[in-house]
Every structure is written in structure tokens, then in C-alpha cells.
Structure 1
Amino acid sequence: MSVTSKIRRQGGAAVITLPPTLLKLLHLEVGSQLELNVVDGELIARPVVQITRKRYSLDELLQGSEELAELNEQTAWARDGDPVGRELG
């Protein structure tokens, strides 16, 4: 697919426009980021892949605390006791 776009000035920046068809083809939307490179005199624009972080609900976070409490119970023996060497107490 070949698209022609005119460079224009907007404020202090030079701007090109991308037609909606091209955005849809590249799975981009307004606000997406592009990595721009010049290779052999050609401008190459690649979408920047954003790593999405999973959002957890409060219930999911608290569920993890139950597992952590169980782990703490299982390893309590390793934290009990008096210093045996020169470590700080």
C-alpha cells in the first residue's frame, strides 16, 4: 500500500498526517507512538509495542496475601532463634 502525505507546519513542528485506513491496517490509533528511523535516505516508521501491565482487583491482591501468610507460617522456623555468630539481631 502506498500513501502520499504532505508535510505541514503546526506550531513549531513539522507534521504529516496518516489516513484512517493506514492506522487501521497498522492497528494504531491517535496517541500511539511510532519509532522513526532513517535507513539509506528513507524514513521508516514502526509502531512502538507497549507492554501492558495487568491490573489486579483488590480481591486478587488480597488472595495473594493468604498465600503469603501460609508461606510465612511454613518458614517461621527459619526466622526463629537467637544469633549464632556475629550477625545483627
Structure 2
Amino acid sequence: MSSSLNLTLTDELRAFIDRNCGDGTLYATPTEFMRDVLREKKERLEADELRAGLLEGYQDAIAGRTTTFSGNLKSDMAQFKKRGR
């Protein structure tokens, strides 16, 4: 599914897009360029969230806030949720 979105840009941003589209560039159209920019931004935000979660887990481990895995994931998750973590 796709939909369209109209944007109002500053002259500087429009010129930046135009410089990156057309003959001799990686992108044929401004739409291709903007899709790629948005995909990169989305990936960067997702990576930031993952890093934050990993850091939180690392800090928990350093502080001794760990749990032993019993071998029963369903049971462990129920206990985990019960504790509010």
C-alpha cells in the first residue's frame, strides 16, 4: 500500500534534493531520494532503540539484576511479567 504526502520545503532543502536527483546521480527522482532518506532515518532510529535496550540489559547485568533461565520460556516470561519487568 502506498499513499502520497505533500511537503513544503525551504528553498535550501529543495535545492539539496534537486542536486541529488537526475542525470549523474544515484536517484532518478525526488521521490526515490526522499524514500531512501526516510528509510535510512527509520533504520537509524531502530538501531538507536536497540542500542538503548542492549545498554539497559548490560547495566542490569553489571548491577547484578539477572535471572536464571529455567529452560521453560513460557514460565519464565510469566514470572518476568509478574515482577513488572
Alignment TM-score, normalising by the size of structure 2: 0.30
Greater fraction helix? 2
Alignment TM-score, normalising by the size of structure 1: 0.29
Q: Which has the larger radius of gyration?
A: 1
Greater fraction strand? 1
Higher relative contact order (CA 8 A, sep 6+): 1
